[in-house]
Structure 1
Amino acid sequence: MDRSIITGGATLIIATFLIIIVFFVLSNPVTSILDGFDDIDAGDATDDMNTYLPDIRTAFWLGMSIAIVTPAVIFVFWIFHREPDHYYKRRKRF
């Protein structure tokens, strides 16, 4: 196995885990900040915020899911669809 493949795969896996860790660390403060809008006593503005709050959370989770799944799918596709090394290392026959 080529060293660049191992390095690239390890880098992708580490980056994916870092994204997941950062996401879970940040998701709790982000959702708690968004929950803080429920405590604001501003009449119609609070009702409007409660209307849009599920959309904000859905967009956040969907965006993070795409950010995590896309590199993994590309990596798996690349691993299984690349040409084997022996195509490039043919012996010369005399």
Structure 2
Amino acid sequence: MEAADPGMASLFDEKEMKTVLLLGLACCHPNPNQRPSMKTVLSVLTGETSPPDVPTERPAFVWPAMPLSFSDVDSSLTGSQINALTVTELIGR
């Protein structure tokens, strides 16, 4: 409840506040494949579903985001295309 705006002076439901904070954390997962879908987000906000589980430890940053499984990879790609990586050189101003 420490995250609540003190100006609200407890004019909110504590359970709803916890739900929104957990949902926000789940939506910020560094791996996009682990973030909840918009359908899930709406279900949580309307109270139809409980918020997704959030890890107790900070998740590791993953780049590039890997598919959930090899079955999620587009089957039209060949083996060399799946393993290909695009490298971009960053140059400062």
TM-score under structure 1 length normalisation: 0.30
Normalised to the residue count of structure 2, the TM-score between the two structures is: 0.30
- The structure that has the greater radius of gyration is 1
> Which has the bigger relative contact order, CA under 8 A and spacing at least 6?
1
More helix by share: 1
